[in-house]
Amino acid sequence: MPEKKILIIDADVASRNFIARNLIEKKYEIIQAGSGKEGLISAWRDRPDLLIVDPTISDLKGEDLAIKLRQDSRSANMPLIALSGDASVMRIKSCLDAGFNEYITKSGQAVPLLNEAVDRLLGVTAATAKEGGLLIVFTSAKGGVGTSSLCANIAMAISKNQPEARVAVVDLVLPTGSIGPLVGYEGSQNIVTVADLLPTETTPEFFQEQLAEMKLWNFRLLSGSPDPESSNYLNVLRIWDIVASMKQAYDYVLVDLGKSLSKISLPLIQHADLLTLIVSTDMGSIGLTKILMDYLRSKKVNENSIYPILNRAVGLEGASKSDAEKVLGIPIRIMVPYLGSNFSLANNQHQPFILKFPTDTASVVFMDAAREMTTLAQKSRME
């Protein structure tokens, strides 16, 4: 990991020095400021890669500091971590609303939480997110809505639309991956075993040569955790490194998160070229998706990069496209029609729906969705 510069803004000298010693051991370069105004000057002058701020500093309230940083082009994209003894819900909300990426309460668990947040935020930057192939992330607010099936079938449709394109799929559904069983993968390599490798081993060449080739599906697969116990050993700090390396090896990297929204998945969502949001037609799913949409807006996820799919594949009943749009406040891009038993049949036989039922309306929908999604992802990358 290249040396990164971190600015600590805290009026308490002892607290600053304690944080600094911990981060210096991790090979970060540390600069310090004892006041908000001093920290603001340092942020613009020294251009740190990340700021750790005690928002209770008296001369310039932490929220005001964050707003000023976010409004200036020199610091608009700097990751900000609030590290505070104030554990009130109102303070946490006001700091996050002002632009802090994380809020950590000073406690016995503060150091490991801070280390994890620093490593994660410094692993993903606006510059690195724009490098390599296009990143398309699939997620949902509720399990059982077909996220993994749609991810695999649209990946296959991208390959069919663009035979020359190199396409890879990463299964990050936790605690147990779901795409491997769907496409008939039986190997031992998975996200847990790969995350255990050294960064020097997980090169773009490694992913070009070593990822399992799912020939019927026309993509390479990094399978998910094989069981809940294995997922406990997943080295989550390696996730972005792995995805970034895969982006150097492939034209398209599709990541299936399922309904897993966490500190692991949020950086992928925030830096995806396209976020595919799978919505079921039941009002419970739509209501949960509305909550998820509000959360994504609070995290500054660009709505133009969100691609909602209404999946009616498994049932005729439920809300219409217009009903879902009224609740979500965002257009539904495409609707998967009712497929009856055909969808389950294709899944159970580990076959792409397009190959199993080439004349079905849904096969046309998958192909159209793949074309539109890749176009929008390319447009998002250019913005």
Cα dist from 52 to 93, 118, 119, 121, whole Å = 17, 9, 13, 12
DSSP secondary structure letter of residue 383: -
Q: In this structure, are residues 281 and 318 in contact, taking their beta carbons and an 8 Å threshold? A: yes
Mean confidence (pLDDT) of the chain: 91
Q: Domains for the chain: give ranges and CATH numbers.
A: 5-123 (3.40.50.2300), 127-382 (3.40.50.300)
What is the SS3 assignment for 8? strand
pLDDT of residue 237 exceeding 70, the answer is no
Alpha helices in 196-238, H assignment, sequence order = 204-210, 228-231
Provide the pLDDT confidence category of residue 263 given band limits of 50, 70 and 90: low
Q: Of residues 77 and 65, which shows the higher confidence score? A: 65
Residue 17, token pair as written in the block:
């020095």
In the chain, the percentage of residues whose pLDDT exceeds 90 is: 72
Helix axes 36-46, 62-71, angle to 10 degrees: 20
Q: Which of 42, 45, 41, 63 is nearest to 54 (CA)?
A: 63
* pTM score above 0.85: no
Q: Tell me the pLDDT tens digit for each residue of 135-178.
A: 999 999 988 899 999 999 999 999 999 999 999 999 999 999 99
Name the residue type at position 135. Answer: L
Residues β-bridged to residue 253: 135, 168
Residue 76, token pair as written in the block:
């608009």
Provide the pLDDT confidence category of residue 126 given band limits of 50, 70 and 90: low
What does residue 288 show for φ and ψ, rounded to 5 degrees? -65, -35
What is the SS3 assignment for 30? strand
d(CA 36, CA 142): 42
d(CA 99, CA 77): 10
